[in-house]
Amino acid sequence: MNEKFIYLDHNATTPADLRVIEAMRPYFNELYGNPLSLYKFASKSREAVELAREKVAKLLNAEPNEIIFTSGGTEANNVAIKGVAHANLTAVRQVKKRGNHIITSKIEHPAVLKPCKWLESQGFKVTYISVDKYGVIDLDELRDAITDKTILISIMHANNEVGTIEPIEEISRLAKEHNVYFHTDAVQTVGKTSTNVDELGVDLLSLSGHKFYGPKGVGALYIRRGTKLVPFVHGGGHERNLRAGTHNVPGIVGLGKACEIAELEREEAKKLKRLRDKLYQGIMDKIPEVIFPGHPENRLAGTLSICVKYVEGESMLINLDFEGIAVSSGSACASGSLEPSHVLLAMGIPREVAHSSLRFSLGRDNTDEDIDKVLTVFPNIVKKLRKISPFGKHR
Ligand SMILES: *Cc1c(COP(=O)(O)O)cnc(C)c1O
C-alpha cells in the first residue's frame, strides 16, 4: 500500500501483528507434523496447539479444556448455537433442560442471526429481542421472553456496527435464574476489553483471531465445563469430538500469540478512545446534521458510527476510498445490497437516515495524522455530495 493509505475498518479485520506472524512461521514447513500423529516430531505440533489453548484460556480466565478451536467467529457461533439446540433433539445426551426455544437479539451479526433462522426452519422457536436507541438490549423484554421451553440465550458482547456493549452480566443472571444456557458472540471484544468468562457469567463465548491482530480463518469457542452440545462437523475425534478436522496449527499458534499480545496491550483502548473522540469532535464541529448511533459511554473504544443526513453511505465510502481512506458503510456483510443496516433500523433510526451510515473503526496502527487527514477531506466530501443529493436537501 502507498504511504497515504489510512485503514479505519478494524471491526472488519485487522492486520496480523508481526509477532504473530513470527510465531506462526515455523509451523508451516519446519514443524509441520499432524498434532494427532504418534511420533515425536508431531508432538511438537501437538504441544504448540496445547500451548495456544492455554493462552486463549488465560485471556478468558477459563480452563484450557474449555476451549475448542474453530475456523473463526462464524463457525464458533454455529457450533455453539446449533450444538446446544441439537443436544435437545438428541436423546443420548443428558441436557440441562428440554425445549425448543432460543432467544437472541435483533442486532446480532449474521453469524448468529442466520443459524437462528435456520433453526427456525428446523422447528425451533426464536425470539428476537429489541434494543433501545443506543442499541442496548431491552432487559424487560428479555425477561418476559423466557419460558420453560427456553434452552439458550445468545446475545453479543459488543455490536460490530455501532460498538455498543451489552449488559452481559445482567443477562447471565437472568439465564442462570431460569436454568438456560447463555452464549455470547464476543468477537468484537476479545483482545479489546475484559472478557473474563466468570465475570461475564457466560456458558459459551465465541472469538475470532483476525479481529484482534491474529490470523484470519481461526477462532475459538469457550464451552463452560458441563455444557452439553452436539457436534455438527463430524470426522476424526479432534477437539474432544466437538469439531473434527486436522488442526490449523499455524493459525492456532497465531491465535494464541494474539491472545498473549492482547494482555500486554491493555492500555491501547485509551489511545483508541482519544483518537475516536477527536474524530467525533471534529465531525461534530465541521459537519452539520450528523447523528452518532451507539451508546455514548458503553461502547468499544475505537468505534465511531455516524449517519450523515442526505448523503448515501456508499457514496461517502467511495469518495473516502479515492483519498486512500478505508471505512465501512452500514453493515459490511450487507454492503453491495441496498438494504440499510438491520442494526440501525432496530435502533429506531429511519430508513433514509440509516442509508447514510458510515463506520470508522480505529486500531493499533492509527495516528493523530490519520484523524487529521480524515477531518481535512471528509467535510469536503460531504459538502460535495450534499450539493448533488437526490434527497431534496441542498447544502
Ligand atoms: C467478524 C465478526 C464475526 C465473524 O467472525 P469470522 O471470524 O470473520 O467468521 C462474528 N461476529 C461478530 C460480532 C463479528 O464482528
How many C-beta neighbours within 10 Å does residue 277 have?
13
CA distance 55 to 57: 5
pLDDT in tens, 336-388: 557 899 999 999 999 999 999 999 999 999 999 999 999 999 999 999 999 98
Give distance in angstroms: CA of 94 to centre of ligand 1. 30
For residue 103, give the nearest of 138, 155, 60 by alpha carbon: 155
Cα–Cα distances in angstroms (integers) from residue 207 to residues 56, 71, 218, in the given order? 10, 10, 9
Is 7 in a helix, a strand, or coil?
A: strand
Residue 237 pLDDT grade (very low, low, confident, very high; cuts 50, 70, 90): confident
Amino acid sitting at position 112: V
pLDDT at 89: 82
Residue 389 pLDDT grade (very low, low, confident, very high; cuts 50, 70, 90): confident
pLDDT at 241: 86
Share of the chain above pLDDT 70, in %: 94
CA distance 7 to 258: 20
pLDDT at 336: 55
Q: Is the CB of 72 under 6 A from ligand 1?
A: yes
pLDDT at 391: 64
Mean pLDDT of the chain: 94
Contact partners, residue 264, CB within 8 Å, separation at least 6: none
For residue 171, give the nearest of 227, 115, 131 by alpha carbon: 131
Taking residues 167-175, report their average pLDDT: 98
pLDDT in tens, 18-43: 999 999 999 999 999 999 999 999 99
Residue 159 has pLDDT above 50, yes or no: yes
pLDDT in tens, 46-104: 999 999 999 999 999 999 999 999 999 999 999 999 999 999 887 555 666 689 999 99
pLDDT at 266: 86
Q: Is the CB of 111 under 6 A from ligand 1?
A: yes
CA distance 131 to 229: 28
Residue at grid coordinates 462464524: 74
Taking residues 181-208, report their average pLDDT: 98
Taking residues 105-112, report their average pLDDT: 98
pLDDT at 332: 46
Mutate to test the pocket of ligand 1, among 14, 70, 156, 208 (most ligand atoms within 8 A of CB): 208
Q: Is 217 exposed, middle or buried (0-12, 13-18, 19+ CB in 10 A)?
A: middle
CA distance 331 to 11: 11
Taking residues 310-327, report their average pLDDT: 96
β-bridge pairing 125-129 and 101-105: parallel
Q: Is the CB of 82 under 6 A from ligand 1?
A: no
pLDDT at 1: 47
Q: Which domains does the chain have, with CATH numbers?
A: 6-15+266-387 (3.90.1150.10), 18-264 (3.40.640.10)
CA distance 173 to 146: 13
Residue at grid coordinates 458503553: 298
Give distance in angstroms: CA of 216 to centre of ligand 1. 10
- Residues annotated as catalytic are 333
pLDDT at 240: 87
| CA end-to-end distance (rounded Å), the chain | 35
Q: Is the CB of 300 under 6 A from ligand 1?
A: no
CA distance 61 to 282: 39
Q: Are 206 and 185 in contact (CB under 8 A)?
A: yes
Residue 284 has pLDDT above 60, yes or no: yes
Give distance in angstroms: CA of 292 to centre of ligand 1. 23
Alpha helices in the chain (DSSP H): 18-24, 26-29, 40-60, 73-87, 110-121, 139-145, 168-177, 197-200, 249-264, 268-286, 313-322, 342-346, 351-354, 368-387
pLDDT at 91: 57
Give the residue, by CA position, lying nearest to ligand 1 atom 5.
Answer: 73
Taking residues 163-188, report their average pLDDT: 97
Cα–Cα distances in angstroms (integers) from residue 209 to residues 108, 147, 219, 357, in the given order? 19, 35, 5, 27
